[in-house]
Structure 1
């Protein structure tokens, strides 16, 4: 493979609070990655990427496995987002990746604290790179990172108050954990309809989902998180049988992306983000290259991050999305059509709960087929109205940029 010297980047820490040290890593726009099928963006945007978990690392997972300029072997990724703009990875919440707390009471426990830390880390970043402040700024995220809706809202409030002159233009909520129960409650029916559960399996998944819902209804959010985890385990055990069949025979062409991208994505809420090759890379070559303090282990605090956030994990943020739409900025919900963790039927369910005035018209509108370039198959479908958009991405699971790299570039360019 190559080396990090092959790409231009900058990085640093911002102490966002006492004992809370957040790490950012910027990869500069690189015209050698400019997609041949897309016109150049002018001005060049700054694109912030926020990973899921909570506790997974954007500088690791998103960067080397999804959308950064180099892959796990440090070879060029032709679908790198640096072909379109400057890409900023932040390990958040604090304790994820190379971010760390030096006192266990410094972890965040809810989405508002996460948003406040993100505002602080971005202020620190732009103090280092004031030349980028005028550039259009977009937030893109995945899974629990979808709660970045709160970060976008906090930034919007800073802009209105005149306390932060950031040029925030839009937010892309990718496979976003916006309404957990709409995902959990649709798992059973979705898997049953796609032939991956039988009657007994459907009953078992629905029973676990109902127990999770009961905890939510009782306002016992920590128990709800634990029961969500149990529901996931039920699903995983029931599906292992199907995954083995699909791997052995690949009975249906769609089973390949489904079983790999969706089902196996199950194990990666937090733990498998610390996948061995990535862990080796991050705690070896990358840590040395970046000059990270010896006492910091990449991913070493991620379980603690998840646990600290467990009382907030299952809470919906549909209201926050409503408030975001009201700001007038572009709000894009995009989803891998084969995602299971945040399945597309569940996304449709929570969108119907928005109080946005044009929701009825929007839902009644037909989807438009989209494709990355002339002559290529349909890559997805979109609906757009005013400043709100919804995209389904075909042949993609939970990790849309990893599964549909070219189409994701097209979508990003369109946004």
Structure 2
């Protein structure tokens, strides 16, 4: 039976709501927040951090949302930290330098960051057998965490609830939304689940991998020889998928990333227009990542987990923030991320298109959005998997023209959207993998539009 005991940890100096007496002033004192642990299973302890809606962050170009929604943010990886990266580098009230972020989502909603799967960020296991190994276990843990969270904050149960995410978080968010829907239908939860936003989501891995070569070629980042090399590596990955050898497919996905890097002088997988710094090679060499993960997975881990936790974020989360929150000394932020990544290797490359179909059929709002400059989850790949959905209105949706969108009147085109019933897709211009960081105002506009429509 799942346990949902919340550990407030007062004995360890763990407080909540930002009222802990500290020896010096922290910028976190200026934002209203609450946090805690939920034991979701034996030996599995997940951390959450809630930032309450703050009218001082209300965007001037948007109307206030009433009632205030609760939006949970799920990071990628698997193994990256929502309370760290998503919070301080994308959409929380403070940035990495602990300065005010004017495009924080807290202007529109109560924002709940979570460290999942268990072992990510401040979440931890006390037994190595407690790591999750598939998406269903991840979803079950998230259901347990949210039961614990709402047990602490029952006043928020009636507020509209949305799940937003990024990257591998898309796969986790889709599974979590479906699991929550079933719990609500069974009468086991009483929350106001309204929708899910799948941002640059790892929904169908092979549709991404199989379009990397052509996408890079068409944007002038591969020549014919490079295109052949990337496509050959992608085909080897596809063969492993076709054979049902999922762990091998994950290894070959990572090796395909290496082929891309060698043939593009290290293109940035998160933004193809970013400087071509040798960040992946640097991480592997300086941090000796092959000690943490198998050699074949080193590139994948460096790009999709380790890059989310490099200094100065690591220093902040294991320094000032850890002290402020009263996190136990034995817990190292991000210290178990390699184990999380390894544990999911057999499930990483499995698609969840059918889960998206099921979400649409529940009637909840389902949003897919993607950054134009993203490579790891490129827009052509997203368009490919959408065409594979079994949704009865898919052909009508595909036949619609898209609509240009603007964050505010008179601004440049921020993107395009297409919508039919409770499903919609948004193309976000001038943004890479981290849409909230790259297109902050437009992302607020999108969030507002989805929630209020």
| TM-score under structure 2 length normalisation | 0.87
Post-superposition shift, 1:261? 8.8
In structure 2, the partner of 1:198 is 223
* Structure 1 residues 114 and 97: alpha-carbon distance in aligned structure 2, compared to 1, 3 A threshold: same
In structure 2, the partner of 1:366 is 401
Between the aligned partners of 1:241 and 1:55, the Cα distance in structure 2 is 23
2:360 to 310, 313, 325: 325
Deviations 1:288-327 (A, max 9, x none): 0000010000000001001000000000000000000000
In structure 1, the partner of 2:129 is 105
1:275 aligns with 2:310: yes
In structure 2, the partner of 1:116 is 140
In structure 2, the partner of 1:60 is 84
* Structure 1 residues 372 and 261: alpha-carbon distance in aligned structure 2, compared to 1, 3 A threshold: farther
Runs (5+) with no aligned partner, structure 2 = 1-24, 281-299
In structure 2, the partner of 1:140 is 164
Deviations 1:323-350 (A, max 9, x none): 0000000000000011100000000000
Post-superposition shift, 1:236? 1.5
In structure 2, the partner of 1:28 is 52
Whether the aligned pair in 2 keeps the contact of 1:368 and 1:383 (CA below 8 Å) is yes
TM superposition outliers: structure 1 runs of 4+ over 4 Å: 261-267
Between the aligned partners of 1:31 and 1:390, the Cα distance in structure 2 is 29
Post-superposition shift, 1:274? 1.2
Whether the aligned pair in 2 keeps the contact of 1:69 and 1:76 (CA below 8 Å) is yes
1:216 aligns with 2:237: no
Between the aligned partners of 1:46 and 1:341, the Cα distance in structure 2 is 29
Whether the aligned pair in 1 keeps the contact of 2:50 and 2:110 (CA below 8 Å) is yes
Matches within 5 A, 1:117-266: 117-147=141-171, 148-240=173-265, 258-260=272-274
Post-superposition shift, 1:3? 1.1
Between the aligned partners of 1:242 and 1:116, the Cα distance in structure 2 is 36
Deviations 1:230-288 (A, max 9, x none): 00111122222677xxxxxxxxxxxx963329997985301111111000000000000
Whether the aligned pair in 2 keeps the contact of 1:29 and 1:87 (CA below 8 Å) is yes
In structure 1, the partner of 2:291 is none
In structure 2, the partner of 1:402 is 437
Whether the aligned pair in 2 keeps the contact of 1:23 and 1:91 (CA below 8 Å) is yes
SS across alignment from 2:96 = coil
SS across alignment from 1:372 = coil
| RMSD between superposed Cα atoms in Å | 1.7
Deviations 1:355-377 (A, max 9, x none): 00110010111110000010101
Whether the aligned pair in 1 keeps the contact of 2:206 and 2:349 (CA below 8 Å) is yes
In structure 2, the partner of 1:385 is 420
Between the aligned partners of 1:242 and 1:177, the Cα distance in structure 2 is 19
Whether the aligned pair in 1 keeps the contact of 2:211 and 2:381 (CA below 8 Å) is yes
* Structure 1 residues 242 and 145: alpha-carbon distance in aligned structure 2, compared to 1, 3 A threshold: closer
How many residues get paired?
A: 404
In structure 2, the partner of 1:84 is 108
In structure 2, the partner of 1:15 is 39
* Structure 1 residues 132 and 231: alpha-carbon distance in aligned structure 2, compared to 1, 3 A threshold: same
Runs (5+) with no aligned partner, structure 1 = 244-255
Between the aligned partners of 1:216 and 1:241, the Cα distance in structure 2 is 26
Post-superposition shift, 1:44? 0.2
Whether the aligned pair in 1 keeps the contact of 2:260 and 2:266 (CA below 8 Å) is no
Whether the aligned pair in 1 keeps the contact of 2:415 and 2:426 (CA below 8 Å) is yes
In structure 1, the partner of 2:74 is 50
In structure 2, the partner of 1:248 is none
Matches within 5 A, 1:308-323: 308-323=343-358
Whether the aligned pair in 1 keeps the contact of 2:271 and 2:375 (CA below 8 Å) is no
* Structure 1 residues 259 and 390: alpha-carbon distance in aligned structure 2, compared to 1, 3 A threshold: same
* Structure 1 residues 339 and 135: alpha-carbon distance in aligned structure 2, compared to 1, 3 A threshold: same
Between the aligned partners of 1:30 and 1:262, the Cα distance in structure 2 is 38
SS across alignment from 1:320 = helix
Between the aligned partners of 1:261 and 1:352, the Cα distance in structure 2 is 33
| TM-score under structure 1 length normalisation | 0.95
Deviations 1:75-98 (A, max 9, x none): 000000000000000100000000
